[in-house]
């Protein structure tokens, strides 16, 4: 009996020792799911540690984007806006709005709500008449449809069966319903009903960076995961007549547009079958100091009403350097002009302030400014449009990487809070075209 007890004690000791070895070795290779570590068998830890030590970062495998078919030239928008809202008599306010549009750096914006739709829903064209039901009906129907259009483009580029999509992460600030746009999109695309869905509401303009972070965590902690990563936004929830007492809403009316972007994210790309575009090496989020009320949105009977402080560009430029410094440590702390920049095109003034604060060369913000010029501010979808523009510019200019020749870069989103979210990406080498 004594020998049997001694044997059991010895077994328990070695099991505990093996468990400790697992913990020590795994901690050495990076942050992991501790619950998962606790569940590891002491008799199989070698294979698990080997697998985890060979862990690969999440990778962007494809990008798709979509807009509604109707584009409004920015130069013509003041006339359209004041006409459809019945405010042409407000001549001073219209002149102010025209100046904002002229200085916005925007050529055109895309909208689902055409003149016909707005005139058939006149309560949307007032300043604060009850109109939430109408806006919700449009958003619930059209947000997933626009997302599906972008998703089809991403899936076609990816080239793999839709049955291999294991997760859906969907962010929107446009409408709220149960079940959400994630389920509707799953059905529209014919995805597996067992797909794991995550629905994110009301991130606002940093939503594109948020879904990137969530997709990274899912891809890296679920072997074989392929994450359909979605942002879809419509201005139907915010469109309203201009008002002299709400000038910050005037700015929003001059810059926001509709758009959807979809990424497919996964770790360990299948050789020859998948074409990685960027690796995601780090993600982080921070709330800027003394920024309460800088960017707010409140859902009311009149829809989603935005409030923007005038000093938003200054708040961002003064307070973002610490998180940028933290982020680039992953890349060995290169200088700002040695990395690529995919910044949310929140407005021309914000981009000017960030560029000035970091002393960036003009070309560093070109992808962002081009998206602002061609589409306006599409809230959370915008920064993913910039990422797509970045890789396409790299090909057009025959650069050595998908990051315009740079190895490392940042994806930067900012929005309500005032929240700043950053991801560190590593560009993928691309073949250079030979000189003609």
Which residues, in sequence order, are bridge partners of residue 110?
71
Q: Return the pLDDT at 388.
A: 98
Asked if the model's pLDDT at residue 179 lies above 60, the reply is yes
- Residue 248: pLDDT band (50, 70, 90) is confident
Distance between the two ends of the chain, CA-based, in angstroms?
Answer: 86
Q: Return the pLDDT at 238.
A: 94
pLDDT digits (tens, 9 = 90+) for 152-166: 999 999 999 999 999
How far apart CA 358 and CA 350 sit, in angstroms, is 12
Q: Return the pLDDT at 436.
A: 59
> Average pLDDT, whole number, for the chain?
88
Residues 218 and 169 sit within 8 Å (Cβ to Cβ):
yes
Q: Return the pLDDT at 54.
A: 58
Q: Return the pLDDT at 2.
A: 43
Catalytic (active-site) positions: 205
In percent, the amount of the chain with pLDDT more than 70 equals 87
Residues 324 and 392 sit within 8 Å (Cβ to Cβ):
no
Question: Mapping DSSP to helix (H, G, I), strand (E, B) and coil, where does residue 161 land?
Answer: coil
**pTM, entire model:** 0.86
Asked if the model's pLDDT at residue 17 lies above 70, the reply is no
Within 67-206, strands assigned E span 71-73, 108-110, 167-172, 196-201
- The DSSP symbol for 224 reads T
pLDDT digits (tens, 9 = 90+) for 38-55: 333 333 333 434 444 456
Query: 10 Å Cβ neighbour count for 339?
Result: 23
- Residue 3: pLDDT band (50, 70, 90) is very low
């Amino acid at each position: 009996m004594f020998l049997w007890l001694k044997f059991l004690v010895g077994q328990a000791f070695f099991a505990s020792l093996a468990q400790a070895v697992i913990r020590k070795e795994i901690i050495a290779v990076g942050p992991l799911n501790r619950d998962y570590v606790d569940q590891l068998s002491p008799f199989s830890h070698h294979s698990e540690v080997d697998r985890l030590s060979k862990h690969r970062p999440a990778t962007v495998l494809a990008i798709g984007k979509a807009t509604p078919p109707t584009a409004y030239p920015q130069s013509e928008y003041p006339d359209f806006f004041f006409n459809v809202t019945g405010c042409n008599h407000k001549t001073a306010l219209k002149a102010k709005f025209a100046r904002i549009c002229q200085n916005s750096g925007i050529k055109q914006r895309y909208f689902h709500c055409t003149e016909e739709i707005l005139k058939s829903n006149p309560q949307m064209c007032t300043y604060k008449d009850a109109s939430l039901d109408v806006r919700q009906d449009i958003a619930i129907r059209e947000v997933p449809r626009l997302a599906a259009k972008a998703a089809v483009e991403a899936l076609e580029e990816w080239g793999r069966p839709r049955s291999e999509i294991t997760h859906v992460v969907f962010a929107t600030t446009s409408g709220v319903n149960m079940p959400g746009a994630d389920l509707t999109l799953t059905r529209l695309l014919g995805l597996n009903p067992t797909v794991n869905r995550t629905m994110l509401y009301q991130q606002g303009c940093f939503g594109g960076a948020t879904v990137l972070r969530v997709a990274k965590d899912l891809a890296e902690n679920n072997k074989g995961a392929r994450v359909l990563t979605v942002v879809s936004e419509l201005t139907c929830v915010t469109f309203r007549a201009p008002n002299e007492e709400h000038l910050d809403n005037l700015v929003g009316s001059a810059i926001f547009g509709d758009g959807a972007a979809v990424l497919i994210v996964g770790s360990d790309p299948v050789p020859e079958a998948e074409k990685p575009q960027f690796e995601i090496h780090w993600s982080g989020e921070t709330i800027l100091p003394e920024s309460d009320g800088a960017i707010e949105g409140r859902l009311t009977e009149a829809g989603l009403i935005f409030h923007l402080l005038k000093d938003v560009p200054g708040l961002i430029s003064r307070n973002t350097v610490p998180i940028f410094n933290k982020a680039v440590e992953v890349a060995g702390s290169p200088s700002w002009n040695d990395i690529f920049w995919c910044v949310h095109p929140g407005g021309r003034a914000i981009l000017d302030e960030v560029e000035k604060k970091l002393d960036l060369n003009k070309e560093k913000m070109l992808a962002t400014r081009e998206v602002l010029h061609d589409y306006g501010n599409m809230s959370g979808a915008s920064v993913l449009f910039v990422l797509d523009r970045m890789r396409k510019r790299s090909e057009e200019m025959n650069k050595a990487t998908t990051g315009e020749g740079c190895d490392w870069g940042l994806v930067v989103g900012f929005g309500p809070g005032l929240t700043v979210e950053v991801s560190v990406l590593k560009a993928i080498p691309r073949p250079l075209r030979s000189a003609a």
